[in-house]
Amino acid sequence: MPRSCRDCLPMMPTELSAVLPARHIQEECGVFGVYAPETTDVAPLAYYALYALQHRGQESAGIAVNDDGVFTAYRDVGLVNEVFPAERLRSLGTGTIAVGHVRYGTTGSDNKRNVQPILVNHYKGRMALAHNGNLTNAAELRESFELDGAIFRTTSDSEVIAYAITRERLGAKSIEEAVSRAMDKVKGAYSLAVMSPRKLIAVRDPIGFRPLCIGEIEGGWVVASESCALDAIGAKFLRDVEPGEIVTISDKGLVSDRSHCGHATAECVFEFIYFARPDSVIDGSSVHVARQRAGAFLALEHPVQADIVIGVPDSGLDAALGYARQSGIPYGMGFIKNKYIGRTFISPTQAMRENEVNIKLNPIRSVVDGKRVVLI
């Protein structure tokens, strides 16, 4: 049977609440990694990829570059272009492997301290980790690690994952084996880009909550939260990382470990509704098409008599177009968006989101005045 929009949006909010307990706004970030042994200029690749992923996080940005095992990193709060002006990007130097991260904060978060990628010094080698997601057993693991002598510098779930991997490296033959062992302990949503002195590792949780894909560039590979980041750097999309898969990229090429695959999967519905860019493809489904089909289903399930269909820019526009086409009601541009205002949902506080939306959107009165309006 052909995939329907319901196939693209497999879990409704009530179903998600049974899986992820409501602690705070769930973490949604952008991660990127590049392994390119035939070039030494990976920092600009990470920069442009993070720029393409900026919609996934506007609070902080960071890049770590690996030059033959020597790590150089910079992380700070702000947008990608604010954190990395030209001179600072050049200060990262040369290298053949890099990981990057953009983040939006949650209520009460320590913004500066929780900026990623997380860097770890260990006698078996350094590690840099970029994480998108939330763990459901983070508090339990953190308490267990602290009682065993661990000292945490951040309040994020990401450091719990980093510590779990580092702890498993003591008895593991390789970092990818340590990652696999850590996956037996951490539960919840996580897509990871992990950099060791010689390898780049991409990891997706067994449920597949958060997206992660693999691309190919000349002489190397990249991993990213969304395929739009691959387009931004001229990489060819290869495939999505499978739920539960560990992909290790090194001088041996691309090696896949599927020992954690095979579980029931469930994507985050908000990726298709809001977070992902419409030009991205997630798990074989075009975000643009999925939103249009969602609007079409809405028109079938809730038909109304109206004069015009409008959408809230930007993520609501595709759904509004789908509703209009299915219903036969004319589509119109009812809002003008201030292009200098970023995403308001991912501002840290409700007060900030309300203030920003007041200057972000303004109705075009001549389009909607005196009309029966369907607002998507």
Rounded to a whole number of angstroms, the distance between the first and last alpha carbons of the chain is 28
Interval 145-183: pLDDT, tens: 999 888 898 888 999 999 999 999 988 999 999 999 999
Q: Which residue has the tokens 């004319």?
A: 330
Q: Is the pLDDT of residue 346 over 60?
A: yes
Mean of per-residue pLDDT scores for the chain = 89
141-154: burial string, b at 16+ Cβ within 10 Å, e else: bbeebeeeebeeeb
Q: What's residue 116's pLDDT? A: 95
Task: Determine contact, residues 21/136, Cβ cutoff 8 Å.
Answer: yes
Q: What's residue 71's pLDDT? A: 97
Q: Is the pLDDT of residue 6 over 50?
A: no
Helix (H, G, I), strand (E, B) or coil at 60: strand
Tell me the pLDDT band of 133, cut-offs 50, 70 and 90: very high
Task: Determine contact, residues 221/249, Cβ cutoff 8 Å.
Answer: yes
Q: Is the pLDDT of residue 290 over 60?
A: yes
Distance CA 220, CA 178 (A): 24
What is the DSSP secondary-structure string of 214-238?
EEEETTEEEEESSHHHHHHTTPEEE
Distance CA 258, CA 141 (A): 24
What CA–CA distances, in Å, run from 235 to 13, 85, 187, 221, 226? Answer: 34, 23, 31, 8, 12
Phi, psi of 372 (to 5 degrees): -85, 120
Q: Is the pLDDT of residue 343 over 90?
A: no
Task: Determine contact, residues 221/251, Cβ cutoff 8 Å.
Answer: no
Interval 357-368: pLDDT, tens: 788 889 999 999
List the catalytic residues: 29
pTM over 0.85: yes
Q: Is the pLDDT of residue 140 over 90?
A: yes
The percentage of the chain sitting over the pLDDT mark of 90, rounded to a whole number, equals: 75
